[in-house]
Structure 1
Amino acid sequence: MASDRLSDDMVSEILVRLPAADAVCSRAVCRAWRRIAGSAAFLGAHARRQPLELILRDDGGWLHTATLAALGDTWRWKRRHLPRLQGCQLVGACGGLLLLEMYPYGHDHVVFNPATRQCVSLPRTPSLLVRICGLYIHGPSGEHRLLYLADDDRSSVQPGRRTASHRVLSLGDTGEARWIGPPVAAIEMWTQMPEAYLQHRGKLHWLHHPEVHDTDAILAFDTVSETIRRIPRPPPVRSQSRSDDLLYEPPCFLVEAHGNLAVMAVVEGCMYLCVMEDYNSDSSWRRHLQVSMSSPLRSACWAVNASDVGKDVILLEDGCAELVVLYDLAERKVLKQVELKRSDTRLAYFVLRDSLERHGFFDVPLSPTSFQG
């Protein structure tokens, strides 16, 4: 009977809760379901509901993904035939897309969607050296864009140093990349590379970037206006080594705490957190937290916000102890700790949410020599 038929809204409400692979399979049920599950509104809603997944890499070069709940159970990891990294590395992730860079100089890049198995090669840059900074979505246009740093010429200003500029490439654009800001003189590009960034207030932030190497600054890039800002760092965290009398600066990381930009470090089992209380005031850094952690985690080599668990929950990794810890900043307690049982598996320092959304740049044929799936 017609009255027994599910409405489009009811079908959409059911299908949007499915994992990406099952949502794709649902399109084969009937034409109505294919129309519903293939609409732009459905694809956007489905992507927003997907859980945050950590990306792990093993010694064989294979990538795996795991939700926070499945991290401690290797049998629950998703081995979804992500691309095997032969001669390349994972350098970015955004909106369900992964960015892969080919060795040795970063001239060739591939964008890959693990949910749809689509991939595309990006135009090759003529620069001798290229350092990927970040993959982001430009709000006004909705485009996926790539920010990178490239040397301007092949003459060294100082030994080992070069003049370089930031450039932006819109995915799918066959034209040349646009230059962002003035060139930066005499920076080290051979050994210094941009590390994982924090996205906060629509801006990308780096503690470690060639432009601010050997400075007391954080580099910020506004993804709307596409302008660059330098933010002074808070005073460094220093700890007295128990093995000698030397002072050292531990690894620090950018996180979001209480809605603000923050810098954190874990030193000898103690967490330090400095918060920028007014984002528009460079002098508004305040020591917010200094607390001993009730965990075997003694130091951290990576930190990221775990927004799926809670607003002020962060995930920390101690590479030496092969330990991952979920910590609640508001409650000041460890929520969960997981030992990575496979010694050959490490976090890849990027997170992913599956997305079935369509992108026109995938219509460009992929060079078969650039990628192995």
Structure 2
Amino acid sequence: MPKSSGVTVFDDLPEWLVVDEILVRLPAKDVLRCRAVRKSWRGGTSTNAFILNHHRHQPSLPIIRNTEGIYRHVGSPTDQKIQRVLRHADPFTNEMTVCHAACDGLLILEKQSNFYICNPTTRKCASLPHPPEWSRTSAISVVGFYRLHTSGEHRVLWVSYSKQVSYLVFIGAAVSTELPDYFVLTVGSDQPRCIQWSIVSKHGYPSTLSHISPPVHNRACLHWATGFSITVFDTVAETFWQMSRPAQLGDKVSLLVMGGSLALCCTTNDCVNLDVWVLQDYDAETWGFQYRFNLSAMEALPPFKFDFNTLPRMAVINERELLIEQCVGRLLHCDIDGVFLGYVGTKEPGKHFMLTMQRLQESMISVPLFEAQEEDAVNKEPPFVMVL
């Protein structure tokens, strides 16, 4: 509040305290507004150190979607539990924007086989170069997106695969001898590098459907639940390997991170209970049972019909709250004790919310592609609308 003399209370505080202890904790939109207040604030909040520190202070929130756009769920402290991040340019067509990956507040999106990297907070967007398709019978997809902690570079893991191989893997049939090709592309470069795939396994391929089963990032590695094991990609060594997991959990499992550790979410055969197992020792690959959620016993839970063909999935909002996609079109908000807190979204056909299994941690981080394409009027307007 300004004093009667026109001087604000911030004038009584050291500049470093305002920047490093106050502004760093504000939402990104407020920081961007504060840059217009003082030249010193603009300079202090524009350094790489501030931007990374500010990013670490922001909550990591689950991304959900429906036919109208992409959203993030902000939990219960505010009245507005859902914030729209992106709106499809034309929600009345089947050509919706697909979110393939998220890292450091940056999203990789696909629209009509074209890929884009964007920061919805700063509303910056650029086209993303990708490996060429080898033939009409092959396709490409993003299977991972990460920041290399040794250099700070953002990198994309691509896969080029036979459409026949993708179908065989999806249905769990025997896979042909034609293996997928994996590439790593540093964001800002147009020269992808081929990564050797050394694991020969019927169920070992990271999912080509990254918008449905994205990898979980933990300990500088990407992790996918593949069959009865976990496929791991070491982002530093750029090698693949496989981690064991409890075989008794079956193949209906999904990965997430709880309390900084890898966790497995699995459903019982009757689809009534949802169990969570946590990786207690990463190096020894030992897992321990942590939680059981009885979906049919949740307080005030509306009646429902079990779908035995759907894999229930879970996302952590914060230390106490969860989202559970019980079946298609049914997204539940509950706490860690299994108390039902509400139904997310509307029951209107086609507009229900679904989990993407990706997370958005707001940031002001930029990448070289943004600056390189700002002067290109043709690529300036993406085929979707960022509204965060």
User: Contact 1:63/1:84 (CA < 8 Å) preserved in 2?
Assistant: no
CA distance in 1, matches of 2:238, 2:155: 11
Structure of higher RCO (CA pairs closer than 8 Å, 6+ residues apart): 2
Contact 2:313 2:326 in 1 (8 A): yes
- Specify the code of the residue in structure 1 equivalent to 2:215: Y
Query: Unpaired segments of 5 or more residues in structure 1?
Result: 209-214, 239-248
* The one of 198, 202, 214 aligned to 2:216: 198
Contact 1:54 1:68 in 2 (8 A): no
Residue-by-residue CA offset, 1:56-80 (whole Å, 9 max, x unaligned): 32323x2233311268x5x553335
Given residue 44 of structure 1, which amino acid in structure 2 is its aligned partner? L
Do the aligned partners of residues 70 and 53 (structure 1) sit closer, same or farther apart at CA in structure 2, a change above 3 Å counting? farther
8 Å CA contact 1:303, 1:314 repeated in 2:
yes
Partner of 1:272: 275
Cα pair 2:65 2:353 within 8 Å, conserved? yes
* C-alpha distance in structure 2 between counterparts of 1:101 and 1:348, whole Å: 17
Query: Which among 87, 94, 110 is matched to residue 103 of structure 2?
Result: 94
Are the equivalent residues in 2 in contact too, given 1:165–1:182 (CA < 8 A)?
Answer: no
Instruction: Please tell me whether the aligned partners of residues 277 and 290 of structure 2 are also in contact (alpha carbons under 8 angstroms).
Output: yes
| 1:303 matched to 2:314 | yes
2:122 equivalent in structure 1: 116
Q: Which amino acid aligns with 2:220?
A: G
Residue number in structure 2 paired with 1:337: 341
Cα contact 2:159–2:208 (8 A) shared by 1: no
- Distance of 1:40 and 1:198 partners within structure 2: 26
Whether 2:208 is the aligned partner of 1:207: answer: no
**Bigger proportion of residues as helix:** 2
Change (3 A) 1:102 1:26: same
The 3 A distance-change label for structure 1 pair 153 and 342 is closer
Please give the secondary structure, in 2, of the residue aligned with 1:358: coil
- State the partner residue of 2:193: 177
The answer (yes or no) to whether the contact 1:314–1:327 under 8 Å persists in 2 is yes
Counterpart of 1:254?
255
The two structures have a TM-score, normalised by structure 2, of 0.74
Q: Identity, % of aligned pairs?
A: 24
- Counterpart in the other structure of 1:346: 353
Q: 1:78 to 1:287 in 2, by over 3 A?
A: closer
TM-score (norm 1): 0.77
From 69, 74, 77, the counterpart of 2:76? 69
| Residue identity matched to 1:364 | A
Quick one: distance in 2 between partners of 1:324 and 1:289?
17
Residue 42 of structure 1: SS of its match in structure 2? helix
What amino acid is aligned across from residue 236 of structure 1 in structure 2? Answer: Q
| 1:232 correspondence with 2:235 | no
Backbone CA RMSD of aligned residues: 3.7
Question: Quick one: structure 1 residues 154 and 22, their matched pair in 2 at CA, closer, same or farther if it must change by over 3 Å?
Answer: same
* Closer/same/farther in 2, CA of residues 40 and 236 from structure 1, 3 Å limit: same
- Count of equivalent residues: 340
Match of 1:220 in 2: 232
Report deviation, 1:335.
5.3
The corresponding residue for 1:126 is 132
Conserved? CA contact 2:104–2:365, under 8 Å: no
Secondary structure of the 2:249 match is coil
